[in-house]
Amino acid sequence: KAGVTQTPRYLIKTRGQQVTLSCSPISGHRSVSWYQQTPGQGLQFLFEYFSETQRNKGNFPGRFSGRQFSNSRSEMNVSTLELGDSALYLCASSLEAGETQYFGPGTRLLVL
Amino acid sequence: QKEVEQDPGPLSVPEGAIVSLNCTYSNSAFQYFMWYRQYSRKGPELLMYTYSSGNKEDGRFTAQVDKSSKYISLFIRDSQPSDSATYLCAMNSGYALNFGKGTSLLVTP
């Protein structure tokens, strides 16, 4: 079974721009979660989607948003990029929320 | 204070050594405990998953949970250079995983 895939793998943007990241979960997994990983803060939860609904959200500003499609694929969007948004963005999928999460390789975003 | 504390290391050991990695936590609501391994420039890979106090063994890896002390450990026996990575503990009280910051491990030949 194919794992979680994320595109693009690397991205360079400038301050003020917006970015959209994509995640395809493991086949059959309906829950998709997004995390931000930085050297200073480690892995931090952004939000979780299940059946196209955002059910939970971490402590991030409204510039961070996402959505999930009927095939469980998910996108996250960051608007008005700031230098501090430079990070590895990880997507994880699970059968149901609260169950074992499997991570994709991440999208490394650099904001200049 | 973060809910999950983990010593970042780095931890350097010779090949063949037994490695002990630890995390403490403060939230009694955590029910599920995981260890992930993350190689440089890769996503975290699930190593071990437990939900009760006690030990769970899988090959060279043993996960230990002590809920009364709010303390979890991962032991790696006969460590190999390929075990060199960052090890992240994670805990789940519902929908989201709460991660430690990770311990960087280097196993030298």
Predicted confidence (pLDDT) per residue in A54-86, tens digit = 988 999 999 999 999 999 999 999 999 999 999
Read off φ and ψ for residue A83, nearest 5 degrees. -55, -35
Q: Would you call B96 and A56 a contact, using CB atoms and an 8 Å cutoff?
A: yes
Distances (CA, A) of B7 to A13, A81, B4, B18, B89: 33, 31, 10, 17, 11
Residue A40 CA to residue A90 CA, distance in Å, equals 16
Chain B: residues touching A (Cβ < 8 Å): 32, 34, 36, 41-46, 49, 88, 90, 92, 94-102
Choose among B96, B98, B100: nearest Cβ to A33: B96
Q: Report the pLDDT value the prediction gives residue B17, as an integer from 0 to 100.
A: 97
Q: Residues of B with CB below 8 A from A97's CB? A: 94-95
Residue A108 banded pLDDT, cuts 50, 70, 90: very high
CB pair distance less than 8 Å for A56 and B34: no
| Per-residue pLDDT, B8 | 87
**Which tops the pLDDT comparison, B16 or B1?**
B16
